[in-house]
């Protein structure tokens, strides 16, 4: 009986102990589902308060996050929610917070500045939302003042729409015009050359729609050995603007991870084109473009949606040229906020440092996406 | 033995036919309503069964992952569905197999409990198994047919293991060996982990009983060890042979892919929503019995092995709530899901529950009976209803039109992938002739785009964060290679990716809730060469031995046992071991 009671006591105590250990020091899986935090998380330091806020955003616990803010009287919970997830449907709307980092900037006994970097994952890649937080001490806790980015309100106005549009009558689903005796639009690769980068071989180039109708375009490249046998075949995927209006040019970039240029004897390029319906609307103007030199080489500028409808996602693709006009690099970026009519949105495309010195000019094109049902 | 125990054990056990009828009354209507079709994995099993229906001797299934081997998953329940589907159809075939598993569980729990407690308590344990929250959760929410059909077979094998090791009866040896083999053919993990949680306590019980028996009936430790080793060797060899293609696949292609997060590994205190899902619902009112289990299991030496088996399964079943599962399982913690351990823990708890119920009813009569019935009803009710409160798919929609679209006009010459279909991809795969690069059997996939990114099914990519999106982008990037021409989208959040990657919408279904996207210039799908493809002889083995083991088990178990004088000698509660043949008759 005594041994039995002791065993019961030991098992009960061990159970409680194991649960306590697992809760105070959760393993990676448990932390993942708890939003990266253990039970000991608190707002006792500026960094801890910022991390707690990041955790709540990760868990999409909007009410809890909003209620923890020191300046919540300045905006509503809905505004806070839309500041993070977008005021209109955009990449932010469906993004998942992959991770967050906290960088202390400055601190005194009563207030502190902390940078919160939110690393979001979206369907087209990831983006980082950097927020500089001001924190104020409140008793033994620190509270965050959230730097709200308000949506710009465009005044009511009428915008005249006068753009070209091409419609195509399809015969049915899966109707590949290119293989059904409909002549494909004439397209031509106007520039192409391979470069060796750390991740592998990259093919840079530009494609021109020479036709008088719009074209769906894509480019496929096959690396071949010196004896002509294929090494690998890849496509341009999203590193191209797939819809080209007549006489338009798009950059393209094709990556061959883990390949070495020295092994390549030749490259077979296959531009693909098909007739598609298209329109010149929405018109996106690129303003204030500026090339920034080393130590932080980048192309900056602003996009302005000149149409009257919201553009949910814009894809910016830029060709960078050297002094002889040859393409030396191609880079791209997606906007994570919707483009409102007549509202400039800044963009910044980083340039690899080793190439920055050879770049003297650039050309940028913008592809757009509008959510279903908008048209 | 205390007076209360004598009072409890002196009463008659509940008649087994009555318990089986109760199981039928509770679960048959639910299964006839096809409630498990709403669960996570039911359609997965039906999909596998549909392949066996058409290709019994060829485990290579080209409908998922551009081809994968079904020999990577033990086939028994699915093969039984395929056989029954000739008469009942696939869905009712599934329900029939599940019903059989539930009835077998009743018998198995009774027989297993008899090793530990009185016949009356064992009969209450068997009755409790009908209302077990974890059983309802696995059947109606998780759809884990393999686990819920392997466990009853295993439980039925354990008393034979006891008989063989304790008394050395050859018939018990034969029955134990064939039942263990059939259990492995239903679900290998049950046998593997069951050996620790179930078999080791039974063997410990043998040792305890052997030591306490009178000198003329005692069994030497040498004999116990020899019999244990003997049956382990024979069963291991039988399982190695019956599941040979499975072992070959596992050895050549071990599960080395990046682990996929699963909420059963969460800490249930830090993530209470998962605690509700994986602890409160499966355990139900059994939570109230845990102090009794620990207390009674500790103070009665004969119950200690069972208590320790329960305790370890309980701790592992808590997932990331304690460090135990991670410590005991190592990397397997990141691969297997934890809810099955809670299921096993509740099965191990049932003898205690039966004991508690018998004692409460003996002492408090009607009030105890009513209270226990209410608790059992709520436990079972919540377990069953959980698939409604937390459905596998947040949104219900039909995929028949999508299957019909893929099956017409030569669309099935190309491969497809779905986005936002959840676990309906299994249902779609059953209905369509077209092949997909996606699937729901992560351990069977070999495509590098899928195995390197720590994500589950492509159709749910966005829920796996950056890893999921990397996998989706990688597979779309290689659309030409796989003949992947169609993307069926039920979630517009993927539209930007498809748009910018060069796909275009070509059709829509179900009132525009499903949009079909296409990519121009994709060549028709070709078979993707795979070293995983089993040779013909493995297909013959796969179609013969696992199913044959179950037929053999049925035949051998029905052989009646002789009368054994030793049955009365055990000092615990074992009264009249029940022979499956007599129960079923």
Identify whether A251 is part of a domain.
yes
Kindly report the nearest CA distance between residue A21 and chain B, in angstroms: 7
Identify whether A158 is part of a domain.
no
Identify whether A157 is part of a domain.
no
Question: Could you tell me which chain B residue has the CA closest to the CA of A124?
Answer: B497
Mean pLDDT for the stretch of residues B231-253: 94
Q: Does residue A353 belong to the interface with chain B, where contact is any CB pair within 8 Å?
A: no
Best B487, B499, B519 residue to mutate vs chain A (most A CBs within 10 Å):
B499
For residue A42, the model assigns a pLDDT of 67
Task: Give dist(CA B495, CA B517) in Å, integer.
Answer: 9
The reply to whether A302 and A358 lie within a common domain is yes
Q: Do A29 and B266 touch (CB under 8 A)?
A: yes
The reply to whether A234 and A345 lie within a common domain is no
The reply to whether A79 and A172 lie within a common domain is no
Q: Do A174 and B500 touch (CB under 8 A)?
A: no
For residue A220, the model assigns a pLDDT of 94
Lowest mean pLDDT among B77-86, B254-263, B554-563: B254-263
Pairing state between β A298-305 and A284-292: antiparallel
Question: Could you tell me which chain B residue has the CA closest to the CA of A335?
Answer: B496
In order of A169, A309, B502, the CA distances from A374 in angstroms are 21, 8, 20
Q: Is the pLDDT of residue A65 over 60?
A: yes
Nearest to B301 by CA among A91, A7, A92: A7
For residue B451, the model assigns a pLDDT of 86
* Chain B residues within an 8 Å CB radius of A233: 480-481
Residues of chain B above pLDDT 70, percent: 92
Q: Which of A152-156, A302-306, B449-453, B572-576 has the highest mean pLDDT?
A: A302-306
Q: Do A367 and B500 touch (CB under 8 A)?
A: yes
ipTM comes to 0.89
Q: Do A274 and B520 touch (CB under 8 A)?
A: yes
Contact A343, A152 (CB under 8 A): yes
Identify whether A234 is part of a domain.
yes
Q: Does residue A123 belong to the interface with chain B, where contact is any CB pair within 8 Å?
A: yes
Q: Is the pLDDT of residue B9 over 50?
A: no
Best A22, A95, A184 residue to mutate vs chain B (most B CBs within 10 Å):
A22
The reply to whether A294 and A260 lie within a common domain is no
Q: How far apart are the first and last CA of chain B?
A: 34
Q: Is the pLDDT of residue B578 over 80?
A: no
Q: Is the pLDDT of residue B562 over 50?
A: yes
Record the tokens describing residue B429, joined without a space: 């795969």
- Encode pLDDT of A149-186 as tens digits: 888 787 888 888 888 888 887 666 555 554 456 788 99
Residues of chain A above pLDDT 70, percent: 93
Q: Does residue A103 belong to the interface with chain B, where contact is any CB pair within 8 Å?
A: no
Task: Give dist(CA A252, CA B567) in Å, integer.
Answer: 81
Task: Give dist(CA B195, CA B202) in Å, integer.
Answer: 10
Comparison of pLDDT for A233 and B443, the residue scoring more: A233
* Chain A residues within an 8 Å CB radius of B262: 29
The reply to whether A33 and A133 lie within a common domain is yes
Mean pLDDT for the stretch of residues B323-332: 91
Q: Do B521 and A8 touch (CB under 8 A)?
A: no
* Chain B residues within an 8 Å CB radius of A220: 480
pLDDT bin (cut points 50, 70, 90) of residue B281 is very high
pLDDT bin (cut points 50, 70, 90) of residue B4 is very low
Q: Is the dihedral of CA B144, B149, B152, B158 positive or negative?
A: negative
Mean pLDDT for the stretch of residues B117-122: 96
Candidate from B295, B476, B492 with C-beta closest to A372: B492
For residue B570, the model assigns a pLDDT of 45
- Encode pLDDT of B82-114 as tens digits: 999 999 999 999 999 999 999 999 999 999 999
Lowest mean pLDDT among A57-71, B169-183, B358-372: A57-71
Q: Is the pLDDT of residue B564 over 70?
A: no
For residue A58, the model assigns a pLDDT of 87
Q: Does residue A94 belong to the interface with chain B, where contact is any CB pair within 8 Å?
A: yes
Q: Do B323 and A19 touch (CB under 8 A)?
A: no
User: Which CATH number does the domain housing residue A348 bear?
Assistant: 2.60.40.10
Q: How many CB pairs under 8 A join A and B?
A: 183
For residue B256, the model assigns a pLDDT of 66
pLDDT bin (cut points 50, 70, 90) of residue B561 is confident
Largest CA distance in chain B: 84
Candidate from B322, B324, B518 with C-beta closest to A174: B518
For residue A173, the model assigns a pLDDT of 55
The reply to whether A117 and A129 lie within a common domain is yes
Q: Is the pLDDT of residue A30 over 70?
A: yes
User: Which CATH number does the domain housing residue A215 bear?
Assistant: 2.60.40
Indicate the number of domains in chain A: 3
Residues in CB range of A80: below 8 A, 6 or more apart = A62, A65, A66, A69, A72, A146, A148
Q: Do A11 and B326 touch (CB under 8 A)?
A: no
Q: Does residue A184 belong to the interface with chain B, where contact is any CB pair within 8 Å?
A: no
pLDDT bin (cut points 50, 70, 90) of residue B584 is very low
Contact A128, A91 (CB under 8 A): no
For residue A274, the model assigns a pLDDT of 87
Nearest to A174 by CA among B520, B367, B325: B520
For residue B576, the model assigns a pLDDT of 39
For residue A140, the model assigns a pLDDT of 84
* Chain B residues within an 8 Å CB radius of A238: 497, 500-502
Identify whether A156 is part of a domain.
no
Q: Is the pLDDT of residue B2 over 70?
A: no
Contact B152, B192 (CB under 8 A): no
Q: Is the pLDDT of residue A113 over 50?
A: yes
Best B502, B508, B509 residue to mutate vs chain A (most A CBs within 10 Å):
B502
Kindly report the nearest CA distance between residue A143 and chain B, in angstroms: 22
Range of the domain at A311: 281-369
Q: Is the pLDDT of residue B568 over 80?
A: no
The reply to whether A139 and A32 lie within a common domain is yes
For residue A181, the model assigns a pLDDT of 60
Q: Do A178 and B521 touch (CB under 8 A)?
A: yes
Chain A residues 130-169 with a CB less than 8 Å from chain B: none
Candidate from B266, B271, B496 with C-beta closest to A369: B496
Q: Do A19 and B318 touch (CB under 8 A)?
A: yes
Mean pLDDT for the stretch of residues B382-396: 85
For residue B357, the model assigns a pLDDT of 97
User: Which CATH number does the domain housing residue A71 bear?
Assistant: 3.10.450.100
Query: Which among A277, A299, A334 is the end of a domain?
Result: A277
For residue B583, the model assigns a pLDDT of 37
Q: Does residue A30 belong to the interface with chain B, where contact is any CB pair within 8 Å?
A: yes
The reply to whether A41 and A118 lie within a common domain is yes
Q: Does residue A278 belong to the interface with chain B, where contact is any CB pair within 8 Å?
A: no
Comparison of pLDDT for B130 and B566, the residue scoring more: B130
Mean pLDDT for the stretch of residues B522-537: 92
Lowest mean pLDDT among A39-43, A84-88, B185-189: A39-43
Q: Do A7 and B298 touch (CB under 8 A)?
A: yes
Mean pLDDT for the stretch of residues B302-318: 97
Identify whether A375 is part of a domain.
no
* Residue showing tokens 């823990």: B345
The reply to whether A268 and A294 lie within a common domain is no
The reply to whether A184 and A139 lie within a common domain is no
Identify whether A161 is part of a domain.
no
In order of B137, B426, B430, B456, B553, the CA distances from B64 in angstroms are 27, 9, 11, 13, 33
Q: Is the pLDDT of residue B337 over 50?
A: yes
Identify whether A19 is part of a domain.
no
Q: Is the pLDDT of residue A36 over 90?
A: no
Question: For residue A309, how many C-alpha atoms fall within 13 Å in the half-sphere facing its CB?
Answer: 15
The reply to whether A270 and A204 lie within a common domain is yes
DSSP tag of B583: H
Kindly report the nearest CA distance between residue B128 and chain A, in angstroms: 24
Q: What is the mean pLDDT of chain B?
A: 91
For residue A40, the model assigns a pLDDT of 59
Kindly report the nearest CA distance between residue B486 and chain A, in angstroms: 9
Mean pLDDT for the stretch of residues B32-39: 94
Mean pLDDT for the stretch of residues A248-273: 94
Q: How far apart are the first and last CA of chain A?
A: 79
* Residue showing tokens 């129960």: B583
Residues of chain B above pLDDT 90, percent: 76
* Chain A residues within an 8 Å CB radius of B476: 237
């Amino acid at each position: 009986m005594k041994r039995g009671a002791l065993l019961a006591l030991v098992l009960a105590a061990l159970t409680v102990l194991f649960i306590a250990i697992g809760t105070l020091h959760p393993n990676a899986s448990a932390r993942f589902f708890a939003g990266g935090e253990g039970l000991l998380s608190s707002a006792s330091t500026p960094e801890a308060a910022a991390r707690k806020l990041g955790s709540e955003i990760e868990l999409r616990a909007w009410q809890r996050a909003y209620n923890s803010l020191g300046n919540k009287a300045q905006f509503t919970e809905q505004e806070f929610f839309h500041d993070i997830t977008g005021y209109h449907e955009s990449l932010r709307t469906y993004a998942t917070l992959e991770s967050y980092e906290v960088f202390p900037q400055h601190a005194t006994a009563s207030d502190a500045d902390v940078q919160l970097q939110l690393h979001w994952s979206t369907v087209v890649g990831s983006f980082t939302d950097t927020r500089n937080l001001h924190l104020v001490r409140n008793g033994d806790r620190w509270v965050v003042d959230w730097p709200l980015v308000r949506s710009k309100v465009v005044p009511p106005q009428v915008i005249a729409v006068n753009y070209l549009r091409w419609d195509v009558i399809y015969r049915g689903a899966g109707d590949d015009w290119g293989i059904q005796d409909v002549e494909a639009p004439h397209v031509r690769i106007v520039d192409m050359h391979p470069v060796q980068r750390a991740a592998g071989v990259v093919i840079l180039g530009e494609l021109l729609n020479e036709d008088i109708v719009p074209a769906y375009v894509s480019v496929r490249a096959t690396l071949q050995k010196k004896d002509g046998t294929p090494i690998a075949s890849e496509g341009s995927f999203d590193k191209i603007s797939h819809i080209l209006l007549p006489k338009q040019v798009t950059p393209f970039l094709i990556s061959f991870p883990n390949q070495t240029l020295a092994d390549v004897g030749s490259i077979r390029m296959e531009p693909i084109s098909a007739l598609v319906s298209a329109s010149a609307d929405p018109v996106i103007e690129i303003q204030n473009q500026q090339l920034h030199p080393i130590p932080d080489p980048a192309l900056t500028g602003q996009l302005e949606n000149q149409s009257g409808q919201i553009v949910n996602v814009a894809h910016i693709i830029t060709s960078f040229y050297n002094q002889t006009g040859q393409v030396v690099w191609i880079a791209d970026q997606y906007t994570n906020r919707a483009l409102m009519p007549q509202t400039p949105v800044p963009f910044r495309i980083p340039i690899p440092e080793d190439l920055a010195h050879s770049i003297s000019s650039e050309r940028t094109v913008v592809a757009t996406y509008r959510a279903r049902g908008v048209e | 033995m205390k007076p209360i125990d004598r009072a409890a054990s002196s009463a008659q056990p509940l008649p087994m036919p009555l318990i089986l009828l109760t199981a039928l009354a509770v679960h048959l209507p639910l299964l006839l309503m096809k409630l498990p079709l709403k669960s996570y994995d039911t359609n997965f099993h039906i999909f596998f069964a549909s392949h066996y229906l058409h290709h019994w001797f060829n485990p290579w299934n080209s409908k998922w992952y551009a081809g994968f081997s079904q020999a990577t998953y033990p086939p028994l329940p699915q093969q039984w569905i395929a056989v029954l589907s000739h008469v009942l159809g696939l869905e009712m075939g599934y329900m029939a197999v599940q019903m059989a598993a539930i009835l077998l569980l009743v018998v198995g729990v009774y027989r297993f409990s008899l090793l530990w407690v009185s016949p009356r308590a064992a009969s209450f344990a068997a009755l409790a198994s009908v209302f077990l929250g974890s059983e309802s959760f696995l059947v109606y929410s998780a759809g884990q047919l393999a686990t819920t059909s392997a466990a009853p077979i295993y439980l039925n094998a354990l008393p034979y293991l006891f008989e063989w090791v304790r008394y050395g009866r050859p018939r018990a040896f034969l029955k134990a060996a064939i039942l263990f083999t059939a259990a492995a053919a239903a679900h290998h993990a049950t046998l593997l982990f069951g050996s620790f949680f179930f078999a080791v306590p039974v063997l410990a019980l043998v040792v305890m009983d052997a030591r306490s028996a009178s000198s003329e009936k005692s069994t030497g430790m040498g004999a116990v060890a020899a019999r244990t080793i003997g049956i382990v060797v024979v069963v291991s060899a039988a399982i190695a042979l019956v599941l040979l293609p499975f072992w070959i696949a596992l050895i050549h292609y071990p599960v080395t892919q990046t682990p996929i997060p699963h909420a059963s590994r969460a800490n249930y205190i830090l993530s209470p929503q998962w605690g509700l899902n994986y602890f409160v619902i499966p355990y139900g009112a059994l939570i109230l019995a845990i102090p009794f289990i620990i207390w009674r299991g500790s103070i009665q030496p004969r119950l200690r092995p069972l208590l320790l088996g329960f305790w370890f399964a309980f701790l592992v079943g808590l997932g990331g709530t304690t460090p135990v599962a991670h410590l005991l399982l190592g990397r397997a913690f990141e691969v297997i899901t934890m809810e099955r351990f809670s299921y096993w823990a509740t099965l191990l708890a049932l003898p205690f529950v039966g004991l508690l119920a018998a004692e409460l009813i003996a002492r408090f009569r009607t009030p105890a009976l009513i209270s226990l019935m209410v608790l059992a009803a709520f436990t079972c009710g919540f377990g069953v209803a959980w698939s409604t409160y937390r459905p596998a798919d947040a949104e219900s929609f039909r995929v028949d039109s999508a299957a019909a679209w893929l099956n017409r006009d030569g669309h099935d010459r190309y491969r497809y992938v779905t986005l936002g279909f959840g676990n309906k991809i299994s249902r779609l795969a059953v209905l369509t002739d077209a092949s997909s690069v996606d699937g729901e059997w992560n351990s069977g996939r070999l495509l590098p785009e899928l195995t390197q990114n720590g994500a589950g099914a492509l159709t749910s990519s966005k829920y796996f964060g950056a890893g999921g999106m990397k996998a989706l982008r990688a597979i779309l990037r290689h659309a030409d290679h796989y003949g992947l021409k169609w993307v069926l989208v039920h979630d517009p959040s993927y539209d930007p990716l498809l748009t910018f990657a060069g796909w275009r919408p070509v059709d829509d279904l179900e009132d525009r809730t499903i949009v079909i996207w296409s990519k121009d210039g994709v060549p028709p799908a070709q078979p993707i060469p795979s070293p995983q493809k089993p040779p013909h002889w493995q297909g013959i083995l796969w179609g013969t031995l696992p199913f044959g083991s179950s037929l053999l088990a049925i035949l051998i178990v029905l052989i009646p046992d002789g009368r054994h004088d030793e049955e009365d000698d055990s000092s615990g509660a074992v009264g009249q071991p029940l022979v499956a043949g007599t129960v079923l008759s």
